[in-house]
Chains A and B, each alone.
Chain A
Amino acid sequence: MLFKVEKRPVPSQTMVYLTPVLAVLVTMVLGAIIFSLMGYDGIAAVREIFFTPILNTLKWQDLAVKAAPLILIGVGLAIGYRANVWNIGAEGQYIVGGLAATGVALATHEMTGWYLLPLMALAGIAGGMAYASIPAFLKVRYKVNEILTTLMLTYVAVQLLNYLIFGPWKSPRSFGQPQTVLFNADQTLPYIIPGTIVQAGAPIAVIVALVAWFLMSRSIFGFQVRTVGTAPNAARYAGFSANQTVWLALLIGGGMAGLAGMLEVSGPFGRMVPQFPTNYGFTAIIVAFLGRLNPAGVIIAGLVLAITFVGGEVAQITIGLPFPAVGIFQAMMLFLLLAGDFFVRYRLRRVVTAASVKPASEAAE
């Protein structure tokens, strides 16, 4: 039985939506095989990573906590990627957003009032945007590749974080620990479901994703982003500015990452610590692609990645799987997803070969 690869007359819409599902399923199968070969219980690993977080209702709150920043950053990145702006430095923008919010929190530490959190949120957004505006300026003005600048600025952000919490922002009461003071009650996100650890970040992420979905599909702004991304010449012809789109894409990506940083530092962390960079900004790249660069899809993809994080922790405890195993699963998912996209434009066709038939099948160009 022989197969021939041939181009589809039109890209398959079914495959566009089927590919992420297949990528996740194949990741489970391959993951089970790989970890079995490495001497672990591969099937149990897949069960713990992918199914325990769903089946165990106690883990749902963990999912919400992990998914929120992933969704928020993923939506921002998805919008940028739609415009062919490859911001892979959301981690840096997330850190600077968190730092900006921390700065406000430290400056207002003696104050109380409902306005502190909104003020910190604005600072977080502004911080992320400001940090993303560096690669935007370099790209628009000097045509510097944003992939390099955004990535490298991430490491700068990490150093900035370390400088601040080892230096000027170190809490005097921390016994030498590099961390800021704990934020006060009005600077900390409220729990929205009593008795759980779910804070306001989760609903904010979902609302932002839905608003983004609406704007991307219905507004002239979303239209502009999609046009610039798929057909730059047509965009210029339509009167959409490519430079303006680069700015918008990076500012939105940076702003959302910055907001995620603020929600994390004022939520689960409650203060700024060296462990603040949790790779959410990098994992969100996988989230954006797994969600097909569609803000609504990003919600689902954010949950899937959150499941692997939570499941990874479970597997660590129950079967002693090393935590980096989760990274392998996540990377495999992205890899298979991108490979699977081949089938959106191409398909396999069975070739009938019989000795009596003329070898017309060799016609492949």
Chain B
Amino acid sequence: MQNGSVPRLELIGITKSFPGVLANDNVSFAVKPGEIHALLGENGAGKSTLVKMIYGIMPPEKGEMRWNGEPMDVPNPKAARKLGIGMVFQHFSLFDALTVLENIALGMDGNLSNRELEARVREVLKTYGLTLDPHRVVSTLSVGERQRIEIVRALLLNPKLLIMDEPTSVLTPQEVAQLFETLRQLASEGCSILYISHKLNEIKVLCDTATILRGGKVVATCDPKQETSRSMAELMIGGNLKDVSKDASRTFGPPHFVVDNLSVPGDGRFGTALKDVSLSVRKGEIFGIAGVAGNGQNELLSALSGEVPVDRDDAILIGGQAAGTKEANARRKLGLCAVPEERNGHAAVPDFTLTDNAVLTARDRRNLVTAWLINRGAATQYAEGVIDTFSVKATGSAATAGSLSGGNLQKYIMGREIMQTPDVLVVSQPTWGVDAGAAAAIHQALVDLATAGSAIVVISQDLDELLALCDTLAVINEGRLSDPMPVADADIEQIGLLMGGVHGESDTTHMPKPVVEPEAPHAV
């Protein structure tokens, strides 16, 4: 393949199926020594299954894997580590109450004295310029620092191949830059890196080669530096990507959704969940809230949507009406709709049909209930309207929400709220785990709703999404919201600092816990 040089890892015709889905279909590609190789694809494209087979978590059904040209047999992760394969998972497996060193010792296969281990850990930290105190307790560390523990763990094995699964999804821009530096140094020493991501900008900056998966198949192998983000995205989704069109000359109306010094007590262990949050959104404006997960976003959404009413009625004003103590459905009647981050079991009931899921939130605004009885006809009609308008792929309004793929369910949920034409819409992670095509459709729908005069709040961890979508941006950190800034002159550097907490590294009172995102549901 590559003029004589033997690839570090070569996959030939790998196939793996699960009940109802072919996760990998005849996948072949090769990773050269010292290469940073991106594995690119949407949720459910088969990336995770593939690396699980490389790391020995599950065996392939068909096909061959070669390691430095030799047939490779990895019945379990231990065997993979022995070969020199290290992996850093998206979800960390760390004990919060133990120190960095104790956590590393727990993950080691061999037996090493504490002193030897500490010496080796310090050596690795020094070699790669990583800052991490081996004696700190994990619960006091930031997400970026926690990830460094996992990286050190992998590096202690002197890996020849390092697999990184979505490593940047919880990092601030500064932490991402630092991570990339480490990875480049590793690669320059001959370690191959298999980098799994769907963030195209990062792949363009970091990777030498990209293998793109779609529906379990390899659809292209390319040099990301030669491609545009758009061309790769189109390969990923297998179609044309529509740009979000936004009228730049739009004017905003008067403030329509006002939050005034909103504070929410925490659950006891972490003090205040929200502290003096104030914001004001005008008609037609999209207000973005950036931040690393676990900094109060969920509490903010619950307080704004009315799921958890707050104690002061005038802390939240919807079109001038005090609504702080009102619960979700009462706020809906005032014109505020909301979409929480978690789709299954929160924004929708997986066991219910799409019709029933329409009744869930649209029953009053759309008159789906008359005299205590559900109007099936009207509910079905509304559900079908949402399915049509938002091109939701479903067998019909009688399909259960749980049978839809993540992206399609999200389109349905967003459509269900948007078609109620709310005056105020609050959404959290509107495109989390959603494929690029569906994400573009959702973004466009949000822009259109704003253009029609609604005030919109978007809470997201995806900074690129917020920068593309919003007119105004603020950052949430440890329950405090920064001053709003117009997106037109936003400074990424400054946003990154705000996301990491402006009060510096010395403050260790409470750092966000790592997000544990549930696996995206497999397509059925």
Mark A residues whose CB is within 8 Å of B: 6-11, 218-221, 223, 226-227, 230-231, 233-234, 236-241, 358, 360, 362-363, 365
Contacts and interface: CB of A to CB of B under 8 A. Distances in A.
A11 B352 CA distance: 12
Contact of A237 (B361, B374, B403): B361
Nearest to B343: A234
A238 B369 contact: no
A363 B346 contact: no
Given A220-B372, A237-B338, 14 more contacts: A9-B20, A10-B400, A10-B402, A10-B524, A218-B373, A227-B349, A227-B352, A231-B349, A234-B347, A237-B305, A238-B328, A238-B361, A239-B329, A240-B329
B114 to A, nearest CB: 34
A231 B374 contact: no
A9 B349 contact: no
A234 B345 CA distance: 6
A363 B374 contact: no
28 contacts: A7-B19, A8-B19, A10-B400, A10-B403, A10-B524, A218-B373, A219-B374, A220-B373, A223-B359, A223-B374, A227-B349, A227-B360, A230-B351, A230-B352, A231-B349, A231-B351, A234-B345, A234-B347, A236-B328, A237-B340, A237-B346, A237-B361, A238-B328, A241-B327, A363-B58, A363-B59, A363-B61, A365-B58
Contacts of B307: 236-237
**Residue among B62, B338, B347 with max Cβ neighbours from chain A (10 Å):** B347
Contacts of B340: 233, 237
B348 interface: yes
Contacts of B352: 226-227, 230
Contacts of A237: 305, 307, 328, 338, 340, 346-347, 360-361
Contacts of B338: 237
B327 A233 contact: no
A99 B345 CA distance: 42
B401 to A, nearest CB: 10
A160 B359 CA distance: 45
Contacts of A219: 372-374
B374 A9 contact: no
B342 interface: yes
Nearest to B350: A231
**Residue among A7, A218, A237, A363 with max Cβ neighbours from chain B (10 Å):** A237
**Residue among A8, A221, A230, A231 with max Cβ neighbours from chain B (10 Å):** A231
**Residue among A233, A238, A360 with max Cβ neighbours from chain B (10 Å):** A238
Contacts of B329: 238-240
B332 interface: yes
Interface string B219-235: 00000000000000000
B304 to A, nearest CB: 12
A231 B374 CA distance: 19
Contacts of B376: 218
A325 B325 CA distance: 57
B330 interface: yes
A6 B19 contact: yes
Contacts of A362: 59
Contacts of B360: 227, 234, 237-238
Contacts of A226: 352
Nearest to B301: A237
Contacts of A239: 306, 327-330, 332
Nearest to A234: B349
A365 B332 CA distance: 44
Nearest to B370: A220
A10 to B, nearest CB: 6
Contacts of A221: 372
Contacts of A234: 345-349, 360
A230 B348 CA distance: 11
Nearest to B21: A9
Can you list the 7 inter-chain pairs with the closest CB atoms, starting with the nearest? A239-B329, A9-B20, A239-B328, A233-B346, A231-B349, A231-B345, A238-B360
Contacts of A238: 328-329, 360-361
B345 A233 contact: yes
Nearest to B332: A239
A6 B360 CA distance: 32
A278 B59 CA distance: 58
B356 interface: yes
Contacts of A218: 373-374, 376
B24 to A, nearest CB: 12
B345 A220 contact: no
Contacts of B198: none
Contacts of A227: 349, 352, 360
B37 interface: no
A6 B19 CA distance: 8
A314 B266 CA distance: 63
A227 B348 CA distance: 10
A236 to B, nearest CB: 5
Given A10-B524, A241-B327, A233 B342 contact: yes
Nearest to A239: B329
Contacts of A223: 356, 359, 374
A78 B426 CA distance: 37
**Residue among B59, B61, B349, B524 with max Cβ neighbours from chain A (10 Å):** B349
A9 B523 CA distance: 10
B411 interface: no
A360 B59 contact: yes
B363 interface: yes
A20 B356 CA distance: 26
Interface string B322-337: 0000011110100000
Contacts of B305: 237
Contacts of B400: 10
Given A236-B328, A239-B329, A360-B59, A220 B363 contact: yes
Contacts of A360: 59, 61-62
A145 B345 CA distance: 23
A42 to B, nearest CB: 40
A250 B361 CA distance: 26
A351 to B, nearest CB: 13
B346 A231 contact: yes
Nearest to A238: B360
Nearest to B348: A234
Nearest to B331: A239
